[in-house]
Amino acid sequence: MLPLLLSVTSFWKNRVRIRHICTGIMNLTAKISDNIDLNILRSVCSINKQTLSQLCFSTYEQYREQFEKKCSFNILTLFYYYGSSSDLFDFVDSLTADDVYNLQEAVNDWDETLVNTKTIFYFATVKNFLDRAYAAISDKQAQVNSLLFEDLIECFRDIWKNNQFDGLSLCFESSALSLASIKRIHLELTDKEQSKRRRIADILQKSNIGFVLLGHHEIIFDIDVKLSNQQQQATTDDEQKEQNITFADLSELRDRARLLEYSSNVQKADHNERDIDKLRKFIQFVSVVEITLETLTALYRTGHPSVSTFLMQEKRFLCADGNCNELIENNTILTDLLDTWEKKLFTMYETHNNLTYFTGDQFWLIEQYIYNPSASTVSHPGFHLLRFIDINPESIKKPDKQFDKPEDRLENLGSLLSKQRPEGFLQKENLKNEKILLVETTNEGILRVILSQFRKTKTPVHIRHLFYCTTQTNWIQIRGFIYRCFYSQSFHQLIRPELLSQSVQDQFVRLLRSLMKDKPDQNFRIGIITTSNIRNQQLINGFRSMGIVDIVRDQDLLNKTDFQQLIQDMNQNCRLVTSQITGLGKSTMIRQEVEKLKTKYVKFPIYGDFDVDTLAERLRSKYSELEIGVLHLDIGTTANSQQLNEILYCLLLFRNFRFGQIAVSIPIETLVYIELDASPDAILNELPSFQHITPSIVIDKVDWATLNIGNKEIQVVANYLQAIVSKTITTQNVNPLMFKNLDLKTCSDLIQGPFFPGKDVNYTTWTQLSIFVAVFHRLFTGFSSNIYFSVESLPEPQLRMDLAQALLQSSNLFTSLSLETVRK
C-alpha cells in the first residue's frame, strides 16, 4: 500500500512537468517520423482526478520504466521544453542559419529591453544544438532499420557533451521566455528583407538612371535612380511618393543581394535559379554604376571639360527587365575617354609643368579668365590661380585663336602658361644621393624648416613650391605634384605626407620609382616635412628602400637669429595689435590709423570653426578693395589654431595660400593689421606666427588722448558735468541748446572725475566708458527736458545738485564689472 501511495503522490506533485515531458516526446517522435510506441505516454497525459489510484500507479510506473529512467535530467528538461514550448521549436525549425545571423546583427542596434545580445546568443545556441541533433538522428536512422527511444536519447546526449552547450538548459529557458520579442524582431527583419527584394526587382524591371554632381568645394558624384510611377506607388509610403535612390542605397542593396545569392547557392534549390539570376544581374548592374562613378570622378579631377555632358541634365539611362546595356556602353565610353585624356595630360605634364598645379575645373577657370579679360575681375578664381603659380594675370594678352577640342585646349593653355613663367634648373652636383631631403619636426617648426630648405637649395621663396597634405588630398593632386617635382627642375616641398591615405602613399612610391626607372638621368629634388615618426610611415619607408633619402638634422636648419631676421625681411607690411584685456580700443586704433593714411579700410574677421575654402572665397572677393586699402584681420577664438597659424604665415609671407581647392592672394603692397582676441580663453598670442611679427602694438590701458570728442553724447555729458562742477546747475536750467564743443583735455578731465573712483586704472576699458556715457546722456537729457526738475519747480534748487551727485556716485553699479577679478 505504501509504494502505491508514494508513487501516486509523486506523480500528482510533478504532474505538470511529467505531462510536458510526455507531450514533448510525442512531438519529437512526430517530427522525426519514427515508430516509437507512444501509447503509455498518451495514457499518462489522460490521468486526471477521476482516474483510479491503482491505474494511476501502474501507468506512471510503466512510464518511468520505459522512458524516465532511461533519461538524464538534462534530456528530460529538453523533452519538457519540447512539450511546454512547442512554438519555440517550430520557430527555430523555420529559421535558416542566415536568419539567426541577421538576428545577431540586428540586436546590436535594437531598442528592446527584453532582448539583448545575450538573449540572441542563447537562442543561436539552441538553434545550433537542435540542427546538430537532428543531423545526428538522421544519420542514425540511416544506419538502423527502426530507431529506438534509446537511440534517440544517445544522439541528444552525444551532442550535449560538447563544451559549447554547457548551460543549454538556461538557453532553453531564456529563449522560451523571450520568444515573442524574438519573433517580432524577426518579423521586422523579414519585412525589410522582402522590401529590399522588391526594391531590387523593381530597379531591374524598369528604372531610369542619371548621374549627378554634388558639393561645392569637394566635388563628388552620385547616382539618381527613379522607378516608374506604378512601381513607386507600390514600394513607397503615401507620404513619400517620390523617392530617389542614391549609390549608398544601391550599395546596401548589393550587399544584401550577395548574401541572398550565397544562401541560394548553399541551398541549391532548382526553383531558386531564376531568383539567383536576378541577383547576379543586380550585382553586375551596381558594379557598372560604381565603376562609372569612379571614372567620372577621375575624369573630373583630371580636368576633362566634357564631364557635364554625361550627367543627369544631359543623359539618362534605362534599365528594363535586367537589361542595362546603355549604362554599360556609357561606362565603356567614359573609360576610353579617361584613358585618352590621361595619356595627353601626362605628356603635357612633362612639357608644360605649370599644368600640374591644377585639377578639376581649374584649367578652364584660367582659360576663361585669359579669353574674357573684359568680363573677368580681380576676384575671378582664374586670376588668383595664376597669382598662386607666380604669374602676373595682367601680363597675359588675349590670344587670337581659341580651340574647341579638349586636348588642343589643354595644350594651348599649357603653352600660354609656360611662356609667362619658364622653370629654372637644378644644379647637378651631388643630387644622386640627395633627391629627397627629409625633415622630422613639430607643427610649430614647419615654417622654420620650409625657409631653411629654400635657403639650402637656393630656391626662390614662393607658395607654389609648397604642397600641404590634408586628409582630403586625393591621388590626382599627388600625381600632379610628383610630375611637377620630377620634370620642373625646381625644388618643391611636401608637408605632412602622413595625412595621405595608405593607398595614395603606395601609389606615390610606385609612380616615382617608375619615373626614375624610365629616366634615370633626370635631376629632381623633393623636400619632405613630417610631424610624425619617420619609421612608421609607408611613404618614407618606400623612399628609403630606394636609397634616395637624405635626413636633414636640426643643426642643419636656420638658427633662431637668422630665422627671425629672414621673417622680418619678408614681412614688411604687417602690424600686430594686442592688449591684455578686451575693450581697450584695438579696432578703433586701427581704424584711426587707416584714416590717417587716407586709404580704404577693409575689415576681415576670422573666428570659430571656419572652413578654409570658404575663408579663401571670402578673402578673394575683397581683392579689389585691398588694392587701394588696408586689411584689418580681426582674429577671434578659433577651433583649429594650427591651421589658422599656417594660413596667416602663408598670407603674410607669401601673400597667397591654397590649403583646399580655392586659391587666394592679396596684393604685396597691402598693409595688414592683425587684431587678436583678448578674451580670457584666447590662446592666439601663443601661435608661432605672432612671435616674429614686429613691430607690434600693445595697448596696455585706455588712451584718453584718443577720446572721440566729436561724439555728440560725449559732448552732452561733458557739458552737463561742467555745469555740475561749476554749480550752475543749482541756479539755472541746463539746456542742451546752450552747450558748446569742449576741447579734448576739458572733456577728458570732466569725465575722468566721476568715472574713475572705485576702478583700477589698469583694468578700465572703453566699454565701461561707453556704458557710462550712454547712461548719463539719457539721464541728463531727461532731466533737462523734465519741467518738474527745473529751477522754477523745485523749492530747493540744491536738490538738483544733490540728485546729480547721487547718480554720479552710483555709476560704479553699472560700470565696474570687475575685469581685474576675472583676470586674477
Cis-peptide into 422, omega within 30 deg: no
Residue 13's Cβ-count burial label (10 Å; 0-12, 13-18, 19+) is exposed
Q: Can you give the pLDDT at residue 429?
A: 44
φ, ψ at 125 (rounded to 5°) = -65, -45
Q: Can you give the pLDDT at residue 264?
A: 61
Vertex 250 angle, CA 246 and 254, to 5° = 170
What's this model's pTM, rounded to 2 decimal places? 0.73
Confidence band of 820 (pLDDT split at 50, 70, 90): very low
Confidence band of 239 (pLDDT split at 50, 70, 90): very low
- Residues 822/680, Cβ–Cβ less than 8 Å: yes
Is a pLDDT exceeding 50 seen at residue 412?
A: yes
Confidence band of 430 (pLDDT split at 50, 70, 90): very low
Instruction: Compare 275 and 27 and report the one with higher pLDDT.
Output: 27
Average pLDDT over residues 466-474: 94
Q: Can you give the pLDDT at residue 681?
A: 55
Rounded Cα–Cα distance for residues 444 and 642 (Å): 8
Q: Are strands 436-440 and 466-468 parallel, antiparallel or unpaired?
A: unpaired
Report the run of H or E that residue 602 belongs to, with start and end: strand 600-608
Structural domains of the chain ordered from first start: 2-177 (no CATH), 192-334 (no CATH), 352-420 (no CATH), 436-561 (3.40.50.300), 571-700 (3.40.50.300), 705-822 (no CATH)
Query: pLDDT tens-digit profile of 503-514?
Result: 999 999 999 999
Query: pLDDT tens-digit profile of 540-571?
Result: 999 999 999 999 999 999 998 899 889 888 88
Q: Are strands 317-320 and 672-676 parallel, antiparallel or unpaired?
A: unpaired
Beta-bridged to residue 631, according to DSSP, are 602, 672
- List strand residue ranges (DSSP E) for 392-482, in order: 436-440, 466-468
Confidence band of 577 (pLDDT split at 50, 70, 90): confident
Query: pLDDT tens-digit profile of 80-104?
Result: 998 888 888 888 888 887 778 778 7
Task: Tell me if residue 225 falls in helix, strand or coil.
Answer: strand
Q: Can you give the pLDDT at residue 116?
A: 80
Q: Are strands 492-495 and 220-227 parallel, antiparallel or unpaired?
A: unpaired
Query: pLDDT tens-digit profile of 186-228?
Result: 877 776 666 777 888 888 888 889 999 988 878 899 999 888 7
Q: Can you give the pLDDT at residue 813?
A: 64
Average pLDDT over residues 18-37: 81
Q: Can you give the pLDDT at residue 686?
A: 65
Question: Which among 38, 34, 135, 29 is positioned nearest to 82, based on CA atoms?
Answer: 29
Average pLDDT over residues 640-668: 91
Rounded Cα–Cα distance for residues 322 and 410 (Å): 40
Confidence band of 815 (pLDDT split at 50, 70, 90): low
Task: Tell me if residue 260 falls in helix, strand or coil.
Answer: helix
- Residues 419/618, Cβ–Cβ less than 8 Å: no
Q: Can you give the pLDDT at residue 503?
A: 95
Rounded Cα–Cα distance for residues 2 and 5 (Å): 5
Percent of the chain with pLDDT over 70: 89
Is a pLDDT exceeding 50 seen at residue 818?
A: no
Confidence band of 360 (pLDDT split at 50, 70, 90): very high
Confidence band of 735 (pLDDT split at 50, 70, 90): confident
Query: pLDDT tens-digit profile of 317-349?
Result: 998 888 889 999 999 999 999 999 999 999 999
Rounded Cα–Cα distance for residues 426 and 116 (Å): 67
Is a pLDDT exceeding 50 seen at residue 381?
A: yes
Of 113-117, 207-211, 287-291, 327-331, which range is least confident?
113-117
Distances (CA, A) of 276 to 201, 325, 673: 12, 20, 70
Q: What is the tally of helices (H) and strands (E) in the chain? A: 33, 15
- Residues 369/265, Cβ–Cβ less than 8 Å: no
Rounded Cα–Cα distance for residues 8 and 203 (Å): 68
Q: Can you give the pLDDT at residue 272?
A: 60
- Residues 160/79, Cβ–Cβ less than 8 Å: no
Q: Can you give the pLDDT at residue 110?
A: 62
